[in-house]
Amino acid sequence: MGFYIELFARPRPQEQTRYRAALALLNSMSNADRADIGIKPADFPRVAREMALR
């Protein structure tokens, strides 16, 4: 049981917070915006990881 408490009580790395924010931003874009920058929904995780590292 102590493992679960430690798992959820531990602070998240900053990159994970930025990754989630980048992924939310990409998901909120319209289809026209996605077409303008040339990314597809399958590319979202890769693009979000790159955005989080910057």
Which phi and psi angles does 37 have, rounded to 5°? -95, -5
The reported pLDDT for the residue numbered 10 is: 66
CA distance 16 to 21: 9
Residue 1 confidence (pLDDT): 58
pLDDT along the chain (54 residues), means of 10: 67 82 92 89 90 85
Looking at residue 20, what is its pLDDT? 92
List, in sequence order, the alpha helices (H) in the chain. Answer: 2-9, 14-28, 31-37, 44-53
Give residue limits of the domains in the chain: 13-53
**Could you give the CA distance from residue 16 to residue 22 in angstroms, rounded to a whole number?**
10
